[in-house]
Amino acid sequence: MRRPMVVANWKMNTRASDAYILATTIRNAIAPIEGIEVVVCPPSIWLGEVSDILKKDGKVNVGAQNMFYEAEGAFTGEISPLMIVDIAKYVIIGHSERRAYFYENDFIVNEKVLAAIKHGLTPIICVGEKHKSSPISDAIKQLNEALTHLPKNRFKDIVVAYEPVWAINKGKVASMDHIVKAMIKIREVVGRDTPILYGGSVNTDHITDLAKRPEIDGVLVGSASIRAASFIKICQEWAATKSFKGCAA
């Protein structure tokens, strides 16, 4: 059975004191929630501190927002899987903002996915078509490229986040029909063991509708995840709704 998940991507937000307060508030609020896995991905500079705060209760996992594919060496400014693995369980790979602003292409994304798996991290692989008029097959192509050389028996060790780029940071989620169509196509690629998340302007208004769909295992939350009250409400709703509906087999 795949686990229902809620993942927070803080992006390049939070100064030290904000990160401390946000992580502590989330940890305390999530402690009584059962039945979902919550993951917080802070900026890499706060990974250690946030991980220490969250580990005190042990319920919320930590993820990095990015990593380089080499294990060590002369790569100024980068962080390696070996640096992350003692602190975090997850790493977001191929986020559309990395692809757009840092020129990450499908080859680099694939290298990162393979490196994450090799070093014991669970990659959260982001795929999504660029424009509202682009076909979902663009996202599927990204996914197939990201999974190149990854044996099928490792698909249980990855998470896929479907994030149509045109819906990210726009305040408006994609239509349910569109999301479900994409989920079904992604499921055909990864099989039954991989959690598939939706991301793109997820907020408290439509979280229950998203959670009711058995095709959607979880959500990747950007802007709404740096507001403690919104993020906590999203987790509570996901847990409450999924505990009745479960995830699709």
Clarify whether 163 is annotated catalytic.
Answer: yes
Instruction: Give whole-number Cα distances, 15 to 20, 47, 55, 95, 241, in Å.
Output: 9, 12, 20, 22, 33
Of the candidate residues 223, 230, 236, 241, the single one contacting ligand PEP (CB under 6 A) = 223
d(CA 184, CA 161): 13
Shortest spacing between CB 197 and ligand PEP, in angstroms: 9
Of the candidate residues 4, 8, 9, 142, the single one contacting ligand PEP (CB under 6 A) = 9
Q: Contacts with ligand PEP in 188-207 (CB under 6 A)?
A: 199-202
Of the candidate residues 22, 109, 158, 168, the single one contacting ligand PEP (CB under 6 A) = 168
DSSP 27-95: HHHHTT--S-EEEEE--GGGHHHHHHHHHTTS-EEEEES---SSSSSS-TT---HHHHHTT-SEEEES-
63 counts as binding ligand PEP under rule CB under 6 A: no
d(CA 150, CA 109): 12
Instruction: Give whole-number Cα distances, 216 to 115, 186, 209, in Å.
Output: 27, 11, 10
Shortest spacing between CB 220 and ligand PEP, in angstroms: 5
Q: Interface with ligand PEP by CB under 6 A: which range of 75-83, 134-142, 216-224, 228-236?
A: 216-224
Shortest spacing between CB 170 and ligand PEP, in angstroms: 7
Tokens of 143: 């996914």
Is residue 32 within 8 Å of residue 64, measured between CB atoms? no
Of the candidate residues 63, 195, 218, 222, the single one contacting ligand PEP (CB under 6 A) = 222
- The catalytic position among 37, 95, 111, 237 is 95
Choice between 4 and 222, CB closer to ligand PEP: 222
Clarify whether 149 is annotated catalytic.
Answer: no
Tokens of 94: 């191929």
Q: Which residues bind ligand PEP (CB under 6 A)?
A: 9, 11, 163, 168-169, 199-202, 220-224
The residues annotated as belonging to the active site are 95, 163
